[in-house]
Structure 1
Amino acid sequence: MADQQELDDFFAHAKAALDLPADTYEDAYQLGGAKFADKLAALVKTGKKTATSSGFELYTIEQDPLPSAGVYNIILNRADKPVALTFTDNVFVTPFMKVTADIAKREGEDDQSLASWREVHQAFFSREYQANGIQFDPESSMVVVEEFHTVYPVVQTR
């Protein structure tokens, strides 16, 4: 579990460096679970990953609210250390099979193709759903897509 003071300090540094208007961040979390957290956090930190997806049905089971647009979030590495601060631009729910090539590319993983995205995410969602006692069905399951941009550290663009 991430150290709350460390998270607050990270956000305070980002807020001071960027003169952010927000008083706080919404959440701090790992992407892809511990196995992929370092790789995905690094993609976010460099600005290569600007979208992520999660299983819609899992929010109902875990009774978690859906992510919100217009908020800051801290992305953590495998050791639950803060790596990047993101701002969520948009959140929407769509069928798994309707995820577009653009979203697959924005997720920044593997070769960034839609085929690769479907393969990797079907396997990931299947494991996550099974762990929660339900079955993932690519033909009927829904995904929550979050589109964001990294605000801290500042991403160097060319």
Structure 2
Amino acid sequence: MKAESMWEQFSIKKNIDASYDAWAFCGGGEIGDCLAHLVLEGKKTATASAYISYQQEQEELPKNGCYSVVLYDTGEAACIIQTQKVSLVPFDEVSERHAYLEGEGDRSLAYWRQAHRRAFTPEYQAAGKKFDEHGLIVLEEFKMVFSQQEEEKI
């Protein structure tokens, strides 16, 4: 199902008149698909992005209450999430709680730091900078509000 179709089903069912973004975790690929599956399983309720990428793209930060259609690498829609909380935190101050909410690996802070250092380094390089342990990270907590899987169970 395409993002537009999923959004239409959701907005009609919930009587919501709002806009949405559509994107894949990590820009897509196998990792992005795995992360989308973690959301569908209820294990992933948070994500993190390098603030430097928002600056480079001159993109607005997510806002509480905003909706996103999470996509698979194929462009098909996985689910719809709603942002619950957004904060800017230095990389080296990300909490164990946030690492757990991201649902990745063994859900530990050590795993989170290793995986995200690897993920954020190319973003810093694209900006002509070296990865910075004190660099700001956009932390986003969300809840899944709609998925095709849930609709099919009803």
TM > 0.5: yes
State the superposition RMSD in angstroms: 1.7
Over the matched positions of the two proteins, sequence identity in percent amounts to 36
Provide the residue aligned with 1:88 in structure 2.
Answer: 83
Matched, 1:109 2:109: no
Unaligned runs of 5+ in 1: none
> d(CA) in 1 for partners of 2:94 and 2:19?
27
| Amino acid in structure 2 at the alignment position of 1:28 | A
* Deviation string, structure 1 residues 118-150 (Cα, Å, up to 9, x no partner): 000011100222123222211x20100010000
State how many pairs are aligned: 148
Provide the residue aligned with 2:53 in structure 1.
Answer: 58
Q: Which has the larger share of helix? A: 2
Report the Cα offset of residue 15 of structure 1: 2.6
CA contact (8 A) 1:41 1:83 kept: yes
Report the Cα offset of residue 33 of structure 1: 2.4
The alignment's TM-score, normalised by the length of structure 2, stands at 0.89
The alignment's TM-score, normalised by the length of structure 1, stands at 0.87
Q: Which runs of 4+ in 1 moved over 6 A?
A: none
C-alpha change, 1:24 and 1:7, in structure 2 (3 Å) is farther
Which one of 5, 10, 16 corresponds to residue 9 of structure 1? Answer: 5
Matched, 1:32 2:23: no
CA contact (8 A) 1:25 1:74 kept: no
* Deviation string, structure 1 residues 58-82 (Cα, Å, up to 9, x no partner): 1111100111111111000111211
Please state whether the residue corresponding to 1:32 is helix, strand or coil. helix
